[in-house]
Amino acid sequence: MATNKFSVIAHRNHEICNPLSKEKLQSVLDRIPFNGGEKVLDIGAGKCGVLIDLIVRHDVVGTAIEIEEDFIIEARRNAGQQITAAQLKIMNDDAKKVIADLDELYDVAICIGATHALVDYQVTLKRMSKVVKPGGYLLVGDGYWKRKPDAAYLEALGAEEEELFSHQENIQVGEDLGLIPMWASVTNEDEWDAYEWLYSRSMETYCIEHPDDPEVAAMRDRIRKWRSAYLRWGRETLGFGLYLFYKG
């Protein structure tokens, strides 16, 4: 079973493919002083909800990098007639390749829940900083450890403890790169539950509705193991933070 198929199905009912409420995300975006016309880059943009919102509210010019075609199709549908091709450019490509080839600078760069597209959190901040103008902003969303993860939880995730930092360390990474932290906000338990249960419900519903899909058994087994790990360890162990930095 292709990993992207599982993710697309599990996220099919999410407006934002991350454990953040729309209100919390917007409150952090509102810390950026938009005046209209700013160039905004979103790496791993998903359904382009962030860029569409910024274009509508602040008249920015958005560039999205997203490798998953199903998300792009939905993004174009969500943009509809209210947003023109000149306002939103979507690049269906690998983020590492696109970033390496960029020859322009942006006023704002965003990467929420997609730092893996550029290797990891630290590398993402470094590469984003290189494509943001002096006086610009970087907004990054990524996981962090709320406490030391159990070995069994790491095994269930297929992860290593070194893959994530603490909340404080996530901020320090930016400071070590010469960036100025301007705001940080973290997901609460209600937001995590809303994200995880919708993720789980979307997959369980798909499996019920598509019994003839040859991958149903594997998908059902995978989502139930994931849900069990979240309930047993995840709620107390894994956090998600949103970090806003200023590039001087």
Mind listing the domains of the chain with CATH numbers?
Answer: 3-246 (3.40.50.150)
> Torsion-angle region of residue 143: left (phi > 0), alpha (psi -120 to 50) or beta?
beta
The 3-state DSSP class for residue 119 equals coil
| Residue 125: per-residue pLDDT | 98
Cβ neighbours of residue 159 closer than 8 Å, sequence gap 6 or more: 149
| Residue 152: per-residue pLDDT | 98
Rg of the Cα trace of the chain? 18
Mean pLDDT of the chain: 95
Report which secondary-structure segment, H or E, holds 77: helix 69-79
| Residue 169: per-residue pLDDT | 98
| Residue 2: per-residue pLDDT | 53
In 3D space, the residue among 62, 63, 54 whose CA is nearest the CA of residue 30 turns out to be 54
**214, β-bridge pairs:** none
Local confidence pLDDT in tens for the 248 residues of the chain: 555 899 999 999 998 899 999 999 999 999 999 999 999 999 999 999 999 999 999 999 999 999 999 999 999 998 987 899 899 999 999 999 999 999 999 999 999 999 999 999 999 999 999 999 999 999 999 999 999 999 999 999 999 999 999 999 999 999 999 999 999 999 999 999 999 999 999 999 999 999 999 999 999 999 999 999 999 999 999 999 999 999 99
| Residue 4: per-residue pLDDT | 86
Cβ neighbours of residue 143 closer than 8 Å, sequence gap 6 or more: 164, 238, 239, 240, 241
The 3-state DSSP class for residue 83 equals coil
User: What pTM does this model have?
Assistant: 0.95
Instruction: Convert the pLDDT of each residue in 129-186 to its tens digit.
Output: 999 999 999 999 999 999 999 999 999 999 999 999 999 999 999 999 999 999 999 9
